[in-house]
């Protein structure tokens, strides 16, 4: 099983600032890496797939990078609606696995 | 518009059974693999099971193998999860989601809560 590790667990950021979230895989997942956003009481939403491709309707301030075992989600200028929990997930091999999440909170 | 609507959750005693359903609309259901993902209260996301578009291939996380069965009825655009021998640690919100090998979980339902408790 591929273990996905996200850091930090919590990120405190002021509105308008840049946020950088990390995700590490225990073995290579190539570019089969997705990022999801989840707000309280809501289902997750796909933000990024293929490590760097934004899903339909996702604003350009969200960007993903990386390949192999190291990945990054960057939110260039945090808006109020971006405060949420973010999960990475690999779909390179079964079982599919998620990281533990990074909570982005208002500083 | 893609819509996924889960149902069938509720309170069940340890050792009991429950069947979840997910009614799909707004897309070609049989063309998509489907999956169940769960989230225990206050915890992160955990993939549970997946089924191919035809239903011919199924996949499970180790903790539910032999207890849960995923299936689909493409004539009814519905996904199922039969859960037997339920344990307290199966307590979670269960989401159904479309799955593709190129983009992960594209669309999600709103989830249904399963509580396993005596």
DSSP string of A63-104? EEEEETTEEEEEESS--GGG-SEEEEEE-SSSSPEE---EEE
Give me the pLDDT at residue A53, please: 98
Cβ distance of A34 and B111 shorter than 8 Å: no
Q: Does A30 touch chain B (CB under 8 A)?
A: no
Residues of A in contact with B47 (CB under 8 A): 89, 95-98
Cβ distance of A95 and B59 shorter than 8 Å: yes
Task: Give the distance from residue A34's alpha carbon to the nearest chain B alpha carbon, in angstroms.
Answer: 6
Average pLDDT score over chain B: 97
Q: Does A68 touch chain B (CB under 8 A)?
A: no
Cβ distance of A43 and B95 shorter than 8 Å: yes
Average pLDDT over every residue of B23-32: 97
Give me the pLDDT at residue A74, please: 98
Residues of B in contact with A6 (CB under 8 A): none
Cα nearest neighbour of B112 on chain A:
A43
Q: A60-69 long-range CB contacts below 8 Å, 24 or more apart?
A: A62/A35, A64/A33, A64/A35, A66/A23, A66/A33, A67/A30, A67/A31, A68/A25, A68/A28, A68/A29, A68/A30, A69/A24, A69/A25, A69/A26, A69/A27, A69/A28, A69/A29
* Band of pLDDT at residue B52, cut at 50, 70 and 90: very high
Q: What is the pLDDT of residues B74-88, one digit of tens each?
A: 999 999 999 999 999
Q: Is the four-CA dihedral A14, A17, A23, A24 of positive or negative sign? A: negative
Q: What parts of chain A have a pLDDT lower than 50?
A: none
Q: What is the pLDDT of residues B32-49, one digit of tens each?
A: 999 999 999 999 999 999
Cα nearest neighbour of B6 on chain A:
A43
Q: Does A23 touch chain B (CB under 8 A)?
A: no
- The whole-angstrom separation of Cα A85 and Cα A92 is 23
Task: Give the distance from residue B35's alpha carbon to the nearest chain A alpha carbon, in angstroms.
Answer: 10
């Amino acid at each position: 099983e591929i273990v996905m590790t996200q850091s930090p667990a919590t990120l405190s950021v002021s509105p308008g600032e840049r946020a950088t979230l990390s995700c590490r895989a225990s073995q290579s997942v190539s570019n089969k890496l997705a990022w999801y956003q989840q707000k309280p009481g809501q289902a997750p939403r796909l933000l990024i797939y293929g490590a760097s491709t934004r899903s339909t309707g996702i604003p350009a301030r969200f960007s993903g990078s990386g390949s192999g075992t190291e990945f990054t989600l960057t939110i260039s200028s945090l808006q109020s609606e971006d405060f949420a929990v973010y999960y990475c997930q690999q779909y390179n091999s079964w079982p599919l696995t998620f990281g533990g999440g990074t909570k982005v909170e208002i500083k | 518009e893609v819509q996924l609507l889960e149902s069938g959750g509720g309170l069940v005693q340890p050792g009991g059974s429950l069947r979840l359903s997910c009614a799909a609309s707004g897309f070609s259901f049989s063309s998509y693999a489907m999956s169940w993902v769960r989230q225990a209260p206050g915890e992160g996301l955990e993939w549970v099971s997946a089924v191919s578009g035809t239903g011919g291939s199924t996949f499970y996380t180790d903790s539910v193998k032999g207890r849960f069965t995923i299936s689909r009825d493409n004539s009814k655009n519905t996904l199922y999860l039969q859960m037997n021998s339920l344990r307290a640690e199966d307590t979670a919100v269960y989401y159904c989601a479309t799955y593709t090998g190129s983009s992960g979980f594209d669309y999600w339902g709103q989830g249904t809560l399963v509580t396993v408790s005596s």
